[in-house]
Each structure stands twice: as structure tokens, then as C-alpha cells.
Amino acid sequence: MDNLTLTEQCIIIGMCAAGTMICRFLPFIIFSRNSKLPNFIVYLGSVLPLSVFGMLLVYCLKDVDPSAPGHGAAEVIAITVTVLVHMYKRNMMLSIALGTIIYMIEVQFIFR
């Protein structure tokens, strides 16, 4: 880590921050002036969320190793439990806690 000087490190961190902030602020900057949003953007705002939550749900699984013991069974079971508990009780904390506990038991004691 002596490759980079302190200034260079700051620039790299600054670039990462800048990239993040461009992506976060851009829609608000583009569409701040006109009080009425274009129809297409209103449409996107209404259809994107469900697609994006679906995308995040898969994105969060990206580090799962398919060659690990169980070959994904642990994830499938824990997600199923989370979904069923949530459909039955509709209590966010309960569904998340139970799903996570089941998953931890699976990977620590069953699929290992």
C-alpha cells in the first residue's frame, strides 16, 4: 500500500464518492426544474420499484457459491421460509429474523 501517496488515495476515494453521487443526484437534477414530469418518467417511477426490488433480491445472492454444500438448497429453503412466514403473519421483523436464523442453522450445522 505504499504505491499510492496520501493525496492519490484521497483522489481515488473522491472518485468513488463522485461516481456514487452522480448516480444518486442525476435524476433529481435533470427533473428538478420542470414541475411536470414527462409521462415516460412518471411511468418508469411507477414500474421500476417492483422490478428493482426483484433485482436487489437476486443481487444480494451474488456471492452464493453454487458448488458449496447443498448447492443453493440452503438459500432456497430459507427464502421459502421467509416468504411463507411473511405471507402468513405479515410481520417484517418476524419474517426476517426467522429466515435468517433458519439460514444460519442450515449453513452452520446442516450444509457444511
Cβ of residue 84: shortest distance to other proteins, in angstroms?
A: 10
Q: What interhelical angle do 92-105 and 73-89 show, nearest 10?
A: 160
Q: Which is nearer to other proteins, 73 or 96 (CB)?
A: 96
Cβ of residue 54: shortest distance to other proteins, in angstroms?
A: 3
Q: Assign 93 to helix, strand or coil.
A: helix
Site residues, other proteins (CB under 8 A): 1, 3-4, 8-9, 11-28, 31, 37, 40-41, 43-45, 47-63, 74-75, 78-79, 82-83, 86-87, 92-93, 95-96, 99-100, 103-104, 106-108
Cβ of residue 67: shortest distance to other proteins, in angstroms?
A: 14
Longest dimension (CA), the chain: 57
Residues 6 or more apart whose Cβ sits within 8 Å of residue 31: 37, 41
Report the Cα–Cα distance between both ends of the chain, in Å, rounded: 36
Q: Which is nearer to other proteins, 28 or 67 (CB)?
A: 28
